[in-house]
Each structure stands twice: as structure tokens, then as C-alpha cells.
């Protein structure tokens, strides 16, 4: 079955109302491939602002959320708050959450379950570190991360899996199209064996890790690469080129 190409922009801890406003003006005015689903991951303090300013054809995501709806959890935001801002997506399990902020597989699984139960769609991130790739345990690592996510998903139509090799995020190193395709193919095999053939063929697996206008076309041509999670380039007009990678 055909999977709708998906481009997520992860703005991370970047931008202010002026620069993000200019970026959104550029995106709103651009000619973009109508067959691509686009979602912008905004800092939580700007979710309302971004949703009100960005054209309705683009989705908006929070970059994280907590595993409960409300309570004494200073500094956290919940799926119900995200939805109250008109936002329908959340990015969970990003390597920066895992490795900078110490989030465990277990916590990411709990967050995934709660976000989905609350009616959000989830961009669930997985990926190995450089020492893990060099040690030959890429599959072991990404399968273990995927299992914790899969154990918490009932409706896979609400989930996009983002494979982001940690060694390629913000480093300027990109996994070769062949390296990306190989892992995406293995992930699909894992889903077929551990979830179902229908989910394996329908779920979108996107690639993240220094995706640019220069690298996006060849990556997009791989049969199991269903889009991108874009970091730095998503803050530049270059994001339009990446959205249009299949044209």
C-alpha cells in the first residue's frame, strides 16, 4: 500500500516570534507537494502562536509531553494541554530526550501510551549511538527501543516511527541512503514478525539526522524511507526543498 510521505520539522530550542513568524510566512506562501504531510515541532511556549499563524495544511507538534494529564509536575506539559492549543502531534523519545535528559525506554513507552490515549498522534524516535553502530549492535538497540513503543500502541495509524542514528544528528554526518534503507527495511521486518504484516506495510518510517536540501532527494528515493524528521534545515527556507523531495 502507498504510504503518504511525511516531513516533520523539529525546531528544538530555537527561534523567537520574529524569526519563527518569518519562517511561517515563507512556508505559508510556498508551493508545496500536496501529497506530503508536514508537521512542525515548535517549542511548547510557542505552540499557540505557531498553530494560529501556520497555514492549516501544515500540522504542528509539541516536542515532548508528560505521561499524565495534570498534577504536581513542575515544568511539564500534558497531551490534553497540547490539544487545547489546537495541536495534534507530539514528538516522543528523541535522542536528546534520551541522552541529554536521561529519559528511559520505559518512560517513553508510558508517554507514548498516554499521548495516544489522549488523542494525539505520535512521532516516536529511535536510533543508535556511534559506539553502538561501531559495535555492530544497531539492530539490537533499535529493536529494543521499537518494542517498548510497540507495546504501548493500539492504533498504528496515529504513529510515525522516526529512525535517527544519534551519530548523524547535528553532526553534518548523514547516514548514506543505503544505511538508512537497510535499517528501515529491518524495522519493517521486525514489525511484520512482532506486530503484524498490515502494520509493517502501512506504518511510515521516516529518517532523521542532518537531512538537507542536498541529501533529501536520494534519501527519499529509498523504498522504505517514508519521509524525514528535519532538525537545523527545518528553520530555513530550505525546508521547502525537503518537503518537495519527491517532486
Tens of pLDDT, residues 23-49 = 999 999 999 999 999 999 999 999 999
Please tell me the predicted confidence (pLDDT) of residue 220: 97
Please tell me the predicted confidence (pLDDT) of residue 1: 60
Give the domain ranges of the chain: 5-244
Conformation bin of residue 37: beta by default, left when phi > 0, alpha when psi is -120 to 50: beta
Residues with catalytic function: 94, 164
Please tell me the predicted confidence (pLDDT) of residue 171: 86
Fold for domain 5-244?
TIM Barrel (3.20.20)
Q: Give the whole-angstrom CA distance, residue 151 versus residue 110.
A: 10
Task: Name the 3-class secondary structure at 86.
Answer: coil
Nearest CA among 72, 79, 5 for reference residue 36: 5
Mean pLDDT, the chain, whole residue set: 97
Task: Name the 3-class secondary structure at 240.
Answer: helix
Cβ atoms of 247 and 217 closer than 8 Å: no
Q: Give the whole-angstrom CA distance, residue 227 versus residue 162.
A: 9
pLDDT at residue 174 is higher than 90: no
Amino acid at each position: 500500500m502507498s504510504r503518504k510521505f511525511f516531513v516533520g520539522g523539529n525546531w528544538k530550542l530555537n527561534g523567537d516570534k520574529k524569526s519563527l513568524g518569518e519562517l511561517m510566512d515563507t512556508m505559508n506562501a510556498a508551493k508545496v507537494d500536496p501529497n506530503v504531510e508536514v508537521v512542525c515541532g515548535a517549542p511548547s511556549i510557542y505552540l499557540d502562536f505557531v498553530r494560529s499563524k501556520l497555514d492549516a495544511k501544515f500540522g504542528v507538534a509539541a516536542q515532548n509531553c508528560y505521561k499524565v494529564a495534570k498534577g504536581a509536575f513542575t515544568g511539564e506539559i500534558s497531551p490534553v494541554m497540547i490539544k487545547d492549543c489546537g495541536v495534534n502531534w507530539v514528538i516522543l523519545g528523541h535522542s536528546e530526550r534520551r541522552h541529554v535528559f536521561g529519559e528511559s525506554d520505559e518512560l517513553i513507552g508510558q508517554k507514548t501510551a498516554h499521548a495516544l490515549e489522549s488523542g494525539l498522534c505520535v512521532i516516536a524516535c529511535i536510533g543508535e549511538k556511534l559506539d553502538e553502530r561501531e559495535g555492530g549492535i544497531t539492530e539490537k538497540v533499535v529493536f529494543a527501543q521499537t518494542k517498548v513503543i510497540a507495546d504501548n500502541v493500539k492504533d498504528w495509524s496515529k504513529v510515525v516511527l522516526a529512525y535517527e542514528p544519534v551519530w548523524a544528528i547535528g553532526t553534518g554526518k548523514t547516514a548514506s541512503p543505503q544505511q538508512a534503507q537497510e535499517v528501515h527495511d529491518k524495522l519493517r521486518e521486525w514489525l511484520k514478525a512482532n506486530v503484524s504484516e498490515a502494520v509493517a506495510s502501512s506504518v511510515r518510517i521516516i529518517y532523521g539526522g542532518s537531512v538537507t536540501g542536498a541529501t533529501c532527494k536520494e534519501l527519499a528515493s529509498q523504498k522504505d524511507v517514508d519521509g524525514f524528521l528535519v532538525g537545523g534545515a527545518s528553520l530555513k527556507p530550505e525546508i521547502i526543498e525537503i518537503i518537495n523531495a519527491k517532486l
